[in-house]
Structure 1
Amino acid sequence: MKEKCELYNDHFQNFKRYGIPKAQLVIADIPYNIGNNAYGSNPTWYVGGNDKNGTSDKAGKTFFDTDVDFRVAEFMHFCSHMLVKEPKERGKAPAMIVFCAFQQMQMVIEYGKKYGFKHSFPLIFIKNQSAQALKANMRIVGATEYAVVLYRDKLPKFNNDGQMVFNWFRWETDGTYPKIHPTQKPIPVLKRLIELFTDPGDVVIDPCAGSGSTLRAAAELGRSCFGFEIKKDMYRLAKEKMISTMSLALL
């Protein structure tokens, strides 16, 4: 069966109307709920990145108005329903990966337990630069990203090809892909995770698709992929710049 890639301009809670298949892997970059401080230590807070020029239109703003009251319980309910059931065979169970702020990790783990994800382990991604340039003379700046892998009872599918895989990864970027979302995750990073936890032909779902980079990464690896993006402007950008260039079926 030919793999499919579909992005919906809708909330993931409305998934039933689309009849999408259940997934081997859910990947999501959930909103950080940091409100009006989204650009707090980023140079873009100021015009031209220089505080002498005064504040820009990003000062005191959220990335999106949906970044204030993201409901983790609704998200976990969706994920628990849309992951495939654990098979009898070993090494075939599904998993989910949730990118989140460091301060959110324990909250994600605790909510996961309430929805059947009894086990978890952290992932750390190491960058060679930091967006917190305005804090560089005040404190040690952040140059890491975080995620949590969650699973039910059995260990998830794991394609390590006999190699030891550490719980930290380099934040590999690729300038050939468009950057259209402020917290967009690099496709090389997403591909590495998808390769580890799925096989070609498996289904990947991103409930908070944003730029569509997860779908692009999954499709290029021969996985079927489905995503939801509630913001119409971002949905259109994702179709135009990230996904439609692949001549994939979009709704």
Structure 2
Amino acid sequence: MTGNANTPRNEVINANCIDAMRTFDRGSVDFILTDPPYVTRFRDRQGRTVANDDNGRWLRPAFNQMHRVLKDGGFCVSFYGWNKVDLFMDAWKSAGFRVVGHLVFRKRYASSARFLRYEHEQAYLLAKGNVSLPEHPIPDVLDFPYTGNKLHPTQKPVEALRPLIEAFTEPGDVLLDPFCGSGSTPAAAQQLGRDWIGIELDGNHARTASKRLASRQHHRAAA
């Protein structure tokens, strides 16, 4: 990887991700794994909400920047809101991503129940340019342990993210999560010996992520 002097490593940035990514060098990250707002006005049982979940104005510019900072031949895994898939698909394709796979994360619980009991999450696998096939393809259905959402209203389990990072990166690669919340993606990257960048708009969540990752780094150093 070349020309990445302006791209930080192993840092949680409290900022609007579009503004932050604009300062990064082109092609300076190896893999993107992110859980953006689903544009569904989400509110959990405690009344917690997600920043920018009430509009989709950020979708196109955010994925344009993700495509720019991702290296040619790199992959992006993006969670999305199933009932807003048209908005997400438009943003991905207009940015230049190719859709090359779909992932389903199987829950042992229902996150809500309306017309159905909603017992899964989903993400698309996106590619930039000419990509190489992974050496060991993983299943497109993965288990999704319950986190309790203690750190964030839509907290993702590290255990569900690790297989994706192992499949699409090598040790020492740089992984980006522009919507890092409480830091689950950087935590999974850190466990696997990858460098990482987390960006989070909400100051409280950014502080939570920074503390979480500093604690993990301290434990690794002490081991």
Check whether TM > 0.5. yes
| Separation in structure 2 between the aligned mates of residue 105 and residue 189 of structure 1, nearest angstrom | 22
Q: Residues 65 and 217 (structure 1 numbering): CA distance in 2 closer, same or farther, change over 3 Å?
A: closer
Q: 2:19 aligns with which of 11, 14, 17?
A: 14
User: Which residue of the partner structure matches residue 38 of structure 2?
Assistant: 32
Give the % identical residues.
24
Q: Deviations over 1:3-24 (max 9, x none)?
A: 9411111112223446697111
> Given the alignment, which residue of 111, 118, 143 partners 1:142?
118
TM-score of the pair, normalised by structure 1: 0.74
Picking from 68, 73, 79, the partner of 1:81 is 68
Q: Could you tell me how far apart the structure 2 residues matched to 1:220 and 1:190 are?
A: 11
**Among 81, 91, 94, the residue aligned to 1:111:** 91
**Contiguous gaps of at least 5 residues in structure 1:** 46-57, 86-92
Greater relative contact order (CA < 8 Å, ≥ 6 in sequence):
1
**Corresponding residue number in structure 2 for 1:55:** none
SS at match of 1:124: strand
Distance 2:96 2:210 in 1: 34
TM-score by length of 2: 0.83
User: Residues 23-46 of structure 1, C-alpha deviation per residue, up to 9 Å, x if partnerless?
Assistant: 1111111101212x523xxxx26x
Q: Which amino acid aligns with 1:114?
A: S
1:119, 1:152 within 8 Å by CA — same for their partners in 2?
no
Question: Structure 2 CA distance, aligned partners of 1:236 and 1:13?
Answer: 19
Shift of 1:143: 0.2
Report the count of equivalent residues: 209
**Structure 1 segment 1-251 matched on structure 2, within 5 A:** 4-15=9-20, 16-17=22-23, 22-35=28-41, 37-39=42-44, 44=45, 58=47, 63-70=49-56, 71-85=58-72, 93-132=73-112, 135=113, 139-156=115-132, 158-160=134-136, 165-173=138-146, 179-240=150-211, 242-247=212-217
Answer whether contact 1:109 1:148 (CA < 8 A) is retained: no
In 2, are the aligned partners of 1:121 and 1:148 still within 8 Å (CA)?
Answer: yes
Greater mean deviation of Cα atoms: 104-113 or 12-21: 12-21
Mapped to 1, the partners of 2:150 and 2:188 lie a distance apart of 14
Cα distance change of structure 1 residues 237 and 196 upon mapping to structure 2, 3 Å threshold: same
- Name the aligned partner's letter for residue 8 of structure 1: I
* Counterpart contact for 2:156–2:184, Cα < 8 Å: yes
Q: Is the 8 A contact 2:104 2:120 kept in 1?
A: yes
- Root mean square deviation of aligned Cα: 2.5
**Which of the two has higher C-alpha Rg?**
1
